[in-house]
Structure formats: C-alpha cells, structure tokens
Structure 1
C-alpha cells in the first residue's frame, strides 16, 4: 500500500454540448485524480483528513479532487453542493451537485472502480447529469426531457436478476440475505454512481442499498435523471421522496432498477 498507482487517468470523453460547468468539473476531477495518483502513495491517498459535510471521513483523494471541482464551479459562477464541502454559495440560480470521487476507497487503493458524478440544477430542478468512470474516461450524460442512447435491461422481477448491492451493515444482514437469495448474480463494487449507470445501460438489472440508509443525495442525484431516461426507476426503499437538498445529513436507502416494477419488488423485499 506504500506504492503509487502506476497507470494514468485518461481525460473524460465528454459529449458535445455538455454544460460548461459540468464539463469543467469532470475534467478537473480526472486531472486532479491523475495528479494525486502520481504524487501520493496508496497509503497517503487513503489518509483521513477530517470529516466531510455529510458526516463521513474525508480521504486525501477526496480533498484533492473536490478542490478542483470547487475551482471549476467558482470559475463558471455556479453554486456547489458536494460531499465534503457541503453547499458553497456563488450567487447563482444554478447549482452543481457532485460526488467528487464515488468509490473513494477503491480510488485510493487502485481498484479501477470509481467515478465522478455531477448534476446541474436550476433552482433545485435537475437539468443535466454526467457520470464519468475515472479509470477509463467513459462518460454517461443525460439532459432533462431528451432521449439517451442507452436502455435498461427491462427486467421486471427480482427472481433471477443480476443485481449489485452495498455490503450490509450488522443491523441489515437478514434484510440483505432476503434480497440477494432471490437473485441470480450478485456483485459488490462499492461505487453507487457507477453501478447506477450500469443499470441505465443494461449491464446489470438493479443496484440497491438494502435498508442501510447509506445514501446522501449526492450519491443518487445523477441517477435520478439518467436512469428514468433509460427506462428505469430510482427510489428509496422506504418510500421517502428523493429531493435535491443541501442538508447532507439526510439519508436514503436507494434502489436503482431497470423498471419501476423491479424497483418496487426490491423495495418490498427490503421492507419484509
């Protein structure tokens, strides 16, 4: 763990027409992550630097990448709501809602499963979402009211599904088993935002936090725009509304599924 991560981080393959603030944030995140990997060892990247606005530990890798995103937001004159810094008011009706490094532990250790996810909101209404798989530069984009070039698998039943889940906490193990025993294939990738776009493009049928109340709105904001545009659904297992809210102490048990029917069936299994 004392060694550096040897391979470079590619520049995101941004679609033409991406909102300038969102594009700058994605480019800034990838560039900062690349520099961080060249300058710091795995152990250093994973060092705890404090507690973020969401109440969870901030790693050095989080801090470095978020600084670049904050610079992008400031340059483009938009507000920022981010996992570590919380809400930064730059006097705009537009706010960039971001998870700077989703899958921080993966990013720090060199597991190539982490991403930047961001949404531009206009007075709280999501208008454009972008998710970038940092180790590949691959990007998924969605614009409110416009079609997307991918579709979910269309699966409607949990039995036989391929699903991705968060690791269960001690209080949720029975619930976790109740869900996963019905699926055909289970994966634990530890990166919600990336797993959500894999649902959107049909690579997996669903992703779920099985009752752990782990998710902040920054974890789910991009999926809330991207996945429904591809035919899927995003909801909370306990029926709480998903809202763009600067209060990062709020938590949800997010379910991202190929269809509303599958999302509701997983939610019912979580609730027992």
Structure 2
C-alpha cells in the first residue's frame, strides 16, 4: 500500500513488549494495557486526532487524546489489580491499596501523536511510598528496561565522570533557561534532544548516553523521573535535582524538578554546576 501525504494514520505496527518473567503482575499488566491501547489508537485514529488537546491534566499541562486513551487503559488495569495509581493526567487514584503504580502512561506524547518512534510507557511499583521496581517500555520497539530494588541488574552506565566531551541528552531549550542550556551544551561532545525523558534516562542506565538533564527549566514531574530513580542507581549512576531538592514520590504533580540522570555522581554534580553557572 502506498501511503501518500494525504494519509495521516501511522502505518507501522506496535510490537508486544519483551517483559522479563519476574516483573510483578500489576506492573506487567499496566505495561500490556498501555501497549494495547497505543496500538489501537494508532490503528483507529489519525495524527491530528491523536494530537488533539482534550483536557487539562493533573500536572497542569494539556492532555492529548492519545494520552487519555493510554491512561484510561492503565487506570482500568490498576483497578483490576487493586493497586492505586499516580499518573500524569489523572493524578492520584485511590483503589484502597498500600501499593501504588507511579506511571507516565505515554512519555513523548507529541512524538507518539506524530508518528516519531520515540515514546515510552514508564512505571514504578511503590509500596508505602517506597519504590520496589521500575520498568520503561519503548513502545515502538518493544524494548524494555526493568530493575527491582536490591537486586543486581545487567545494566551498566558508561562510568563517565566528566562533562567535557560527554554524550548528553537535554530537554529542549526554553525561555527561562537559555544560558544554562548553552553552558551544558557547549561542553558536551555529543548532544541529543529526543523529547522523551524516560527513554533518555534508560539510555543512561545502559551506558548508551552519559547523562540526561533538564538544564534549569524546572519542567520534570515525579512521573518523569520515577523509573530513573530505580534504573539508573541500579546501574551505577545517579539521579539528582540540579538545585539539590529531594526527589520523592509526592502525589502533588504540580511539583517540578530540573532532574539530572548521569553515569556517575561526579558527572551529575558537574552537570548541576554547569546548569547553576
């Protein structure tokens, strides 16, 4: 079939995620729900439909139609598994459990709606506000990063300790952080802007990228950073806020951080110093 310029569906299939056998059932079910909903959304809706803003999320940013479709499926999964949900659009949903799924249902929403193959489901299973395990699923490939707190993992960061010459992913520059963005970018040896924090921090965990940062714009919420807080330290790296604020699982999604995920604590500190000037 020829897909001309007038066709606005996204033709490429969404594969099943390659989940490890030891993933907790509630987290695995949420991931499958996200993948299925995303696959169905791409099959049934056009790019403009997926990108339509349909509500204002609990985090204070607009909710795209594709976000709502994926999050609704995850919410049903959480309810059926009798766990609470903390999610980007809906906020906190209390299902009467001591266990909460902290999720970014569709990280990289603009990419997903446009057909750019850089978007993720990302989730953390937390018990009494303490993270137990985390998983990020690259939706367009089925690739999965997973770790459980206290268990060894095969992921290893690059081990880099210096910013000069490093491979760095950044959020796009914004009006309030142009100088700090340039300070980091000018010292990096290779720079990427992928538009999906969860994927970029997973790449730090596996050593493909030395560091990821929001260089001072205070854009990131806990759902953006939750999986990184498990995956990156398990691989030998560090996750911090550029301003030294604690990163905790607060259900208040209006809280923001300038998060940094780096191969080592030394590199994280150097990135923070560059941001602060």
TM range (shorter): over 0.9
CA contact (8 A) 1:2 1:43 kept: no
Q: Distance in 2 between matches of 1:258 and 1:96?
A: 26
Matched, 1:8 2:13: yes
Q: Distance in 1 between matches of 2:139 and 2:153?
A: 21
Matched, 1:253 2:276: no
* Equivalent position to 1:102, from 92, 100, 107: 107
CA contact (8 A) 1:102 1:116 kept: yes
Q: Distance in 2 between matches of 1:82 and 1:19?
A: 18
Once the two structures are superposed, residues 119-146 of structure 1 have per-residue CA deviations (whole angstroms, 9 ceiling, x without a partner) of: 0000000001010000001100010100
Once the two structures are superposed, residues 244-264 of structure 1 have per-residue CA deviations (whole angstroms, 9 ceiling, x without a partner) of: 010000000000000000000
Could you tell me how far 1:2 is from its partner in structure 2? 5.7
2:176 is paired with a residue of what secondary structure?
helix
Query: Normalising by structure 1, what TM-score?
Result: 0.99
| Superposed counterparts of 1:1-272, under 5 Å | 3-272=8-277
Q: Distance in 1 between matches of 2:224 and 2:161?
A: 24
Q: Distance in 2 between matches of 1:253 and 1:96?
A: 23
Runs of 4+ in 1 over 6 A off after TM superposition: none
Runs (5+) with no aligned partner, structure 2:
1-5
CA contact (8 A) 1:119 1:130 kept: yes
1:80 is paired with a residue of what secondary structure?
strand
Query: Normalising by structure 2, what TM-score?
Result: 0.97
CA contact (8 A) 1:155 1:205 kept: yes
Runs (5+) with no aligned partner, structure 1:
none
Q: Distance in 1 between matches of 2:7 and 2:13?
A: 18
Structural RMSD (CA):
0.7
